[in-house]
Structure 1
């Protein structure tokens, strides 16, 4: 069916989506959504207010109807024109590699270097230290020796415990 075959009465009775199908068949190429809508509105002799209310419904019908598909960039065509392999290739954009921007190197302000004193002058001798008594350390070592057990003493205690249990049986 062609637009030339349609009468004014049949165009008025047809749905906008059906008229769009006929327009695309006659053009035999994908069309921009606005251009397609304008052609349909012109054929149906829609007023500006009818266009404003009808454009959203027309877009919804294009999306829902299985005969149409978008080719990206708001271009619409008939789905039967495109093989399945081409549909995937046309719709799926090739991912672009993002280039990383080089980080700008910021130079930190350099603080002026102060002259330091010689380290030999600041060395503290052992005599200068206070609050530490060598005698206290020696007495702590003696106290710790009292708590040291010999391994022999421990073994004797363990053996005595086992001997008692064996005698009771």
Structure 2
């Protein structure tokens, strides 16, 4: 049934998505979102204020409804118009492969010379870079904690071995 065949009362009762579906069927082509929304709102008899109020809900419903497809930037059509292969091509274009020449140039930049001499200056550490708190650490205390842990672990292991026998 065409949109033109509906009475004013029938159009007011129909949902905006149903009207959008009918509009796309009548047009037989995908439409820009704003154009589709304007036609739908006009059929519903919305004022400018009401159009502004319902646009977000319409977009959300259009996105969630499985009958519609965003074919390209802002262009909406019916999903049944597009074969699966065509949908994949339009929505996600495959990235182009880099040429071998560009790959080789990139590899040359990334490679470091194998015979490059390392100097003491290359290995020097800036003292300001180091944290001053490192000097305050008591490393002997850390060793004592490790030793205590090892002893506790060994005693628990011995107990479990005795229980297994």
TM-score by length of 2: 0.57
Can you list the C-alpha shifts for 1:80-111, whole angstroms capped at 9, x where unaligned? Answer: 1111111101111343579x9xxxxxxxxxxx
What CA RMSD, in Å, does the superposition of the two structures yield over aligned residues? Answer: 1.8
The structure with the largest helix share of the pair is 2
In structure 1, how many angstroms separate the alpha carbons of the residues matched to 2:72 and 2:49? 28
In structure 1, how many angstroms separate the alpha carbons of the residues matched to 2:13 and 2:37? 17
Q: 1:21 — aligned with what?
A: 21
Q: 1:46 — aligned with what?
A: 46
Can you list the C-alpha shifts for 1:111-153, whole angstroms capped at 9, x where unaligned? Answer: xxxxxxxxxxxxxxxxxxxxxxxxxxxxxxxxxxxxxxxxxxx
- Asked which structure has the greater CA Rg, the reply is 1
**Number of aligned pairs?**
100
Alignment gaps of 5+ in structure 1:
101-169
1:37 maps onto 2:37 in alignment: yes
Q: 1:8 — aligned with what?
A: 8
SS in 2 for 1:77: strand
Structure 1 residue ranges, 4+ long, deviating more than 2 angstroms after superposition = 93-98
In structure 1, how many angstroms separate the alpha carbons of the residues matched to 2:17 and 2:56? 12
SS in 1 for 2:72: coil
In structure 2, how many angstroms separate the alpha carbons of the residues matched to 1:38 and 1:97? 42
Distance 1:13 1:84, change over 3 A: same
Alignment gaps of 5+ in structure 2:
103-165
Q: 2:71 — aligned with what?
A: 71
In structure 2, how many angstroms separate the alpha carbons of the residues matched to 1:68 and 1:23? 12
Distance 1:53 1:95, change over 3 A: same
Can you list the C-alpha shifts for 1:56-97, whole angstroms capped at 9, x where unaligned? Answer: 000001001000010111100000111111110111134357
In structure 1, how many angstroms separate the alpha carbons of the residues matched to 2:52 and 2:95? 36
